[in-house]
Chains A and B, each alone.
Chain A
Amino acid sequence: MNEPWLALFAAINPAAALIAFRGAVSDRWGTNAFAKERLLVAAAGVVIAVAIYAALTFAGEDLLDGLDIAPETFRIAAGIVMAASGVFAIWRMGLADDGALPGIGAGVFPLGVPLLASAAGLVAALSYGVDHGSGRTFVAAAVIVVVTGTLAWLYRDSWRPIAGALARITGAVLVAVAAALVVEGVRDI
C-alpha cells in the first residue's frame, strides 16, 4: 500500500468514524424513520466529505502558497494534528456524545464533518496531495470515504467489538505515520 492510502486510511479511521456516528445518532437509531433515511444520510456525508477532500487536494498547493508555508513545513503541522487524532482514537475509539443534526442533516454533521472529513484526514490530504500528487491523493481519500460511508449505511451494533479494536489499531498506525511525517518535515529540505 503506498503512502497516501495508508496515511488517509489511518487519518479517516473508518472504524472510529462508524463508532462515533453510531454514538451521535443513538437518540434515533432504532426508529423506522432513521432506518429509512440512513442511506440518504450516508450519501450526504460522503458527498460533502468528498467535495471537501477534492477542494483541499486540488487547491492545496495554492493554499500553502497563499499562507507562505513550504510543503515540508506543513508536514510538521499535519503530523501534529494526525498524532493527536491517533492518540484520541486509541484512547476513545471515536466514542463521542456530540449529537447529530436532525434528519438527513446527520449526514452533514457529524458524518460529513468531522467524521469523514476529519481534521486528521484533511491535513493528511493537503500534505500528501502536495507531496504525492493531488489526483492520487484525492482518489485514495474518495475511495476510503465512499467505503466508510457505505459501512455507515450498513452498520450493525454487532460490529462494535471488532470496530473498537480496529479503531484503536488504526489510531496506533496513525501515530506512527504522523511521527514519520514530522521527521520528514524536519529532515527534508
Chain B
Amino acid sequence: MWWRGLTATAVLWGGGIVTLRAVVVPGEVCEPVEVTETRAAAVAAADWIDRGQYSDGSYLYEYNRDTDERINLGYNIVRHAGVTMSLYQMAFEGEGIYLAPADEGLGWMEERLERREDWAAIADNSGDLRLGANALMLAGLVFRRDATDEASRDDLMREIGRFLVRLQQPDGSFVDRWRQGDDGPYLELKSKYATGEAFWALAMMHNRFPGEGWDEPAIKVADYLSLYRDELEGFEFPPWADQWAAYGLHEMVDWPLSDDNITYARSLADRFGFLIRTEAQRSDADWYEFVHGRKTRAAGMGTWVEGLNSLWVIASNDERMADMEGEIGDRIACGTAMLAERQEPAGTGGAGATIDGGRDAISGGWFTEGVTRMDDQQHAISALLDAEAALRAREGDE
C-alpha cells in the first residue's frame, strides 16, 4: 500500500504548507519607498492638519468620511499638544510654512497656561494639569526653538520643565497629573504614555540647556523605564511598546546610555520590529482580516516607526546596538512604505468631504473604518520625517 502512504504524505505536506502560508506566514508586503515619497506624504498629512485648523488654533479632531461628520467632542489637550509638536517638527525639517499653524496651536495652549511658584503648566478642560500635555508642549517648544533659533520662549520652557520635575517621584517614575484645587501632585494615577513623554522632554531640555540639571531627572526616569516600569505598572507582555521612551533614549545617546538603557532599547527594537512584521502580513482580504485582524490605524503604526527611528540612531551611534542597525532599517523601510501606501492621496476629497469653508478633509489623511483622527496624521508625520536618515542610509547602501 505504498501509494496510500505516499499520497497521505503529499496531502499532509501540501495541506500543511498551504495552512502555514495562510495562517502563520503570509507574505510581509512592504513595497520599496524613497525619501522623496515619504517627505511628500508627511507634507500631505501636515496639510490635512493645517486645513482643519480652526480660527482659535484648535484642530479638526476627528472626521468620518462616510457620514461627512466633523467630530470635536472630547477634544484632547494631549493630542492637541502632540499635533502642534508635529507641525513644529515639520518646520524644523525645513517645511517653514507650518510654523504659522503651529504657532496658532501654541497660542491655544498658552491661553490655558497656569503659573504657580516657579513653574507653569497648561490645564485641560477640567482644570487638571496633565503631565503628557505639558511634556508634548515642551517638546514642541524645543522643535520651535531648533527651527527658528528664537529664544523668546526659553523661560516658558524652563517653567514647564520644572512642572514636569514636580510630578516626578523618588523612584524616577511620574504621576499623571496635578488635579485642580490640589496643593500637590495626585499620586494615585500614572499614565503609560506620559512618563515616556516627560522623559523625552526633559532629555531634550538637557541637550538644549546643558548645565541646568535637566539630565538628573531624565537619567532617573530612564533607569525607571529600563528596569522597573513594566513590572511595577503591570504591563503583561513587556516591554510596553513605548516610542516616547525610545525618543528619550535617542536624546541620551551621547551622554552616554547605561548598559541597562541599552538592554531596554534592544528589547524595544525587538518589540517594534515584531509589530511591523505582523502589520506587514495584514491585508484587506476577508480571510486575512479574520486571521490577522484589521490593519492598524496610523496613530498606532506611526508610533512603531517613531520608536524604530530613534532606536536606529542609537544603533548607528552605539556599538552595543550596532548589530541591529540593518534590521531596524529594514523595519523602518517597511513601516514607512505601509504608511505611504495607506495614505489618502491628494485630490481624493471630493464635494461633501470638506472641513469648514469647503476644504478637503480626506487628502493626506489615514482612515480606519472611514474615520481619521488628528493624531493619525501627527504620528505619521513624526514617523515619516524621522525615518529619512535611515532611509537615506539604505538608499546609499543600495
Nearest to A25 among chain B residues (CB) is B2
B166, CB-defined interface residue at 8 Å: no
For the complex, give the distance between the alpha carbons of A100 and B5 in Å.
8
For the complex, give the distance between the alpha carbons of A98 and B327 in Å.
44
**A187 neighbours in B (Cβ, 8 Å):** 270-271, 274
Whole-angstrom distance between the Cβ of A139 and the nearest chain B Cβ: 24
Whole-angstrom distance between the Cβ of A116 and the nearest chain B Cβ: 13
A104, CB-defined interface residue at 8 Å: no
**Known: A68-B27, A68-B28, A73-B25. Is A109-B274 also a contact (CB below 8 A)?**
no
Nearest to B268 among chain A residues (CB) is A189
In chain B, positions 176-204 with a C-beta closer than 8 Å to chain A are none
A189–B324 contact, CB under 8 A? Answer: yes
Mark the stretch among B6-14, B121-129, B144-152, B255-263 that contacts chain A.
Answer: B6-14
In chain A, positions 136-189 with a C-beta closer than 8 Å to chain B are 186-189
**Known: A73-B277, A119-B13, A119-B16. Is A189-B327 also a contact (CB below 8 A)?**
yes
A109–B24 contact, CB under 8 A? Answer: no
B73, CB-defined interface residue at 8 Å: no
B24–A77 contact, CB under 8 A? Answer: yes
B1, CB-defined interface residue at 8 Å: yes
A51, CB-defined interface residue at 8 Å: no
In chain A, positions 82-128 with a C-beta closer than 8 Å to chain B are 96-102, 105, 109-110, 113-114, 119
B29, CB-defined interface residue at 8 Å: yes
A70–B2 contact, CB under 8 A? Answer: no
In chain A, positions 48-102 with a C-beta closer than 8 Å to chain B are 67-70, 72-74, 76-77, 80-81, 96-102
A186–B25 contact, CB under 8 A? Answer: no
B116, CB-defined interface residue at 8 Å: no
Question: Which of A77, A99, A113 contacts B4, CB < 8 Å?
Answer: A99
Nearest to A186 among chain B residues (CB) is B274
For the complex, give the distance between the alpha carbons of A42 and B125 in Å.
80
Whole-angstrom distance between the Cβ of A108 and the nearest chain B Cβ: 9
B13–A80 contact, CB under 8 A? Answer: no
**A81 neighbours in B (Cβ, 8 Å):** 16, 20
B269, CB-defined interface residue at 8 Å: yes
Whole-angstrom distance between the Cβ of A100 and the nearest chain B Cβ: 5
**Known: A68-B29, A119-B13. Is A110-B331 also a contact (CB below 8 A)?**
no
Q: Quick one: CB contact mask for B327-365 with A, threshold 8 Å, 1 for yes?
A: 110110000000000000000000000000000000000
For the complex, give the distance between the alpha carbons of A186 and B278 in Å.
10
A19, CB-defined interface residue at 8 Å: no
Whole-angstrom distance between the Cβ of A124 and the nearest chain B Cβ: 14
A189–B269 contact, CB under 8 A? Answer: yes
**B5 neighbours in A (Cβ, 8 Å):** 24, 96-100, 109-110
For the complex, give the distance between the alpha carbons of A189 and B335 in Å.
13
**B273 neighbours in A (Cβ, 8 Å):** 72, 188-189
Interface size on B, residues (CB 8 A): 31
Nearest to B327 among chain A residues (CB) is A189
B25–A74 contact, CB under 8 A? Answer: yes
A101–B331 contact, CB under 8 A? Answer: no
**B13 neighbours in A (Cβ, 8 Å):** 114, 119
**Known: A67-B27, A70-B28, A73-B28. Is A109-B6 also a contact (CB below 8 A)?**
yes
B16–A69 contact, CB under 8 A? Answer: no
Question: Which of A99, A109, A110 contacts B1, CB < 8 Å?
Answer: A99
Whole-angstrom distance between the Cβ of A3 and the nearest chain B Cβ: 17
Question: Which of A113, A119, A189 contacts B270, CB < 8 Å?
Answer: A189
**A99 neighbours in B (Cβ, 8 Å):** 1-5
B28–A98 contact, CB under 8 A? Answer: no
**B328 neighbours in A (Cβ, 8 Å):** 189
Q: Quick one: CB contact mask for B40-64 with A, threshold 8 Å, 1 for yes?
A: 0000000000000000000000000
Nearest to A100 among chain B residues (CB) is B2
For the complex, give the distance between the alpha carbons of A113 and B330 in Å.
36
Question: Which of A70, A96, A109 contacts B277, CB < 8 Å?
Answer: A70
Nearest to A69 among chain B residues (CB) is B25
For the complex, give the distance between the alpha carbons of A76 and B274 in Å.
11
For the complex, give the distance between the alpha carbons of A101 and B2 in Å.
6
A76–B2 contact, CB under 8 A? Answer: no
A69–B20 contact, CB under 8 A? Answer: no
Question: Which of B9, B16, B27 contacts A109, CB < 8 Å?
Answer: B9
A98–B25 contact, CB under 8 A? Answer: no
Q: Which residue numbers of A lie inside 8 Å of B, CB to CB?
A: 24, 67-70, 72-74, 76-77, 80-81, 96-102, 105, 109-110, 113-114, 119, 186-189
Jot down 7 A-B pairs with beta carbons below 8 A, ordered by A: A80-B24, A96-B5, A98-B6, A109-B5, A110-B9, A186-B274, A189-B324
Given contacts A68-B30, A99-B3, 12 further A-B contacts (CB under 8 A): A24-B5, A67-B27, A70-B28, A72-B273, A73-B28, A80-B20, A80-B24, A81-B16, A98-B5, A119-B16, A187-B274, A189-B328
